[in-house]
């Protein structure tokens, strides 16, 4: 057998190279055909499926989630070294269960939280703790944390730069609310100038309206105003009038704000009276004065005009000039829509030709409350407000009637006030 093999090998080696390549290839193909045999599967009823059992520990269960991309029977190799953290990595918060959302147009608390999978029961529990959550505003910020089981644990509502409300879930499942108010730094400033045209700073008018008739102001009258502004995060959050000095006709008029928020003169006497002189935020042109023998422009007859007419645009807010009780709020025929307010036993005020009444009979009102919108209803020749003041059942001229004054400061309050005035007066120099 060995001799046969040596003879075949010797003959094969003497063949040309091209013949040896062809002969070798045919031999390989022949052997492959001889040993190849297709496998045919014949199912049998008693055959059992082949199952590969893979045991996973608790840490490997995460690989069964849809987002897993590695075979579950393999573990990924750890990186050889830690990658350096970049700026983006530093910006990512460590707390993974904290979410933030900015309120957009059309958003409600429910629509904002539902998209993050927070259940309606949790949202209702939040609203039960604070009904104000129904009135979210564009630009406000919401942030919340979730418990391990995905339930809402806490929520923070940034209402403004000043106010933040925090809602925390208790053991009983209900939420409790805590409000945090941020305080800024108050800074004083002085504004000086002279009256040019209309001197219509409403805060100044309210402070001085009982000392002088603003209709007598003339161009060139000097004024100085002491303001205090609260700065919050570098921006002005609110402002407050502290004091004012006005020189008109060679006479100086002063008013300063006390700790109770009301204005007094340099000696602590009341600046405001029980009534405001005008039933509007600012003074409007008088189109018809108080006149017991006035010629009615509609009927042509002489009929007493028991009040004052102010020419103002339809829809202007009408204010109660003093504390009192609404006794009439209805349509009065020639008077149009009108309101009557009783102020104690002696005084009553009436407001006529209104577009819309905002109060009801029996309602208590405070000085400065909005009671109506001006209009042109009833017997009227144009948009205006007819305003009356009655004292002891007698109509009086609202522009000249003597109205009750507010009492001045006494005791320690007056001492503190006078010390404040002493320090503020030098700041109110004119020019």
Using DSSP bridges, classify how beta strands 370-374 and 347-357 pair: parallel, antiparallel or unpaired.
antiparallel
Neighbours of 332 (CB within 10 A): 17
Tens-digit pLDDT profile for residues 50-63: 444 445 454 554 44
Euclidean distance between CA atoms 243 and 417, whole angstroms: 12
Q: Looking at the structure, do residues 106 and 247 belong to the same domain, yes or no?
A: no
User: What residues in the chain have per-residue pLDDT under 50?
Assistant: 47, 49-54, 56, 58, 61-81, 83-96, 200
Euclidean distance between CA atoms 277 and 388, whole angstroms: 11
Q: Looking at the structure, do residues 321 and 350 belong to the same domain, yes or no?
A: yes
Q: Structure pTM?
A: 0.40
Instruction: Name the 3-class secondary structure at 335.
Output: helix
Q: Looking at the structure, do residues 304 and 376 belong to the same domain, yes or no?
A: yes
Using DSSP bridges, classify how beta strands 347-357 and 317-319 pair: parallel, antiparallel or unpaired.
unpaired
Euclidean distance between CA atoms 251 and 332, whole angstroms: 45
Q: Looking at the structure, do residues 219 and 153 belong to the same domain, yes or no?
A: no
What are the φ/ψ torsions at residue 61 (nearest 5 degrees)?
A: -60, -30
What would the DSSP string read from start to end of 42-82?
---TT-----------GGGGGGGSTT--S-TT--PPPPSSP
Distances (CA, A) of 44 to 38, 149, 158: 19, 48, 71
Tokens of 301: 């007859």
Looking at 120, 148, 181, which one is the last position of a domain?
181
pLDDT at residue 257, rounded to an integer: 86
Tens-digit pLDDT profile for residues 266-276: 888 775 557 88
Euclidean distance between CA atoms 270 and 263, whole angstroms: 7
Q: Looking at the structure, do residues 296 and 330 belong to the same domain, yes or no?
A: yes
CATH of the domain at 111: 3.10.450.350
Tens-digit pLDDT profile for residues 102-156: 888 888 998 888 888 888 889 999 999 999 998 898 888 999 998 887 788 999 9
Question: What's the mean pLDDT when you consider all of the chain?
Answer: 77
Euclidean distance between CA atoms 256 and 265, whole angstroms: 6
Q: Are 348 and 401 in contact (CB under 8 A)?
A: no
pLDDT at residue 94, rounded to an integer: 44
The range of the structural domain enclosing residue 231 comes to 184-273+405-431
Euclidean distance between CA atoms 214 and 410, whole angstroms: 29
């Amino acid at each position: 057998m060995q001799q046969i093999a040596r003879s075949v090998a010797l003959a094969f080696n003497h063949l040309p190279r091209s013949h040896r390549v062809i002969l070798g290839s045919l031999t390989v193909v022949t052997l492959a055909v001889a040993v190849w045999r297709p496998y045919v599967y014949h199912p049998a009823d008693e055959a059992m499926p082949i199952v590969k059992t893979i045991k996973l520990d608790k840490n490997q269960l995460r690989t069964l989630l849809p987002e897993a991309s590695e075979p579950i029977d393999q573990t990924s190799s750890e990186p050889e070294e830690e990658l350096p953290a970049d700026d983006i990595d530093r910006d990512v918060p460590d707390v993974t269960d904290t979410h933030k959302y900015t309120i957009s147009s059309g958003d409600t608390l429910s629509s904002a939280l539902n998209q993050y999978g927070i259940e309606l029961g949790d949202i209702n529990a939040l609203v039960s703790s604070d009904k104000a959550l129904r009135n979210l505003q564009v630009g406000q910020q919401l942030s919340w944390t979730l418990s391990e089981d995905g339930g809402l644990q806490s929520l923070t509502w940034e209402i403004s730069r000043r106010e933040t409300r925090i809602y925390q879930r208790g053991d009983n499942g209900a939420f409790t609310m805590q409000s945090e108010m941020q305080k800024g730094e108050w800074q004083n400033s002085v504004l000086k100038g002279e009256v040019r045209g209309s001197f219509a700073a409403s805060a100044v008018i309210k402070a001085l309206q009982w000392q002088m008739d603003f209709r007598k102001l003339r161009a060139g009258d000097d004024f100085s105003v002491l303001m205090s502004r609260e700065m919050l995060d570098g921006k002005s959050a609110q402002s407050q009038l502290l004091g004012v000095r006005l020189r008109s006709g060679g006479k100086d008029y002063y008013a300063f704000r006390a700790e109770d928020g009301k204005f007094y003169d340099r000696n602590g006497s009341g600046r405001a009276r029980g009534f405001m002189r005008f039933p509007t935020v600012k003074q409007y042109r008088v189109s018809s004065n108080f006149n017991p023998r006035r010629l009615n422009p509609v009927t042509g007859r002489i009929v007493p005009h028991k009040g004052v007419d102010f020419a103002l645009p339809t829809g202007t807010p009408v204010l109660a000039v003093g504390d009192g009780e609404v006794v009439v709020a209805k349509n009065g025929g020639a008077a149009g829509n009108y309101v009557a307010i009783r102020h104690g036993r002696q005084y009553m005020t009436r407001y006529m030709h209104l577009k819309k009444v905002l109060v009801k009979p029996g309602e208590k009102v405070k000085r400065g409350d909005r009671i109506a919108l001006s209009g042109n209803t009833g017997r009227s020749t144009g948009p205006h407000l007819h305003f009356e003041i009655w004292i002891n059942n007698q109509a009086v001229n609202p522009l000249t009637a003597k109205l009750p004054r507010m009492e001045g400061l006494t005791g320690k309050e007056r001492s503190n006030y006078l010390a404040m005035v002493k320090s503020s007066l030098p700041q109110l120099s004119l020019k």
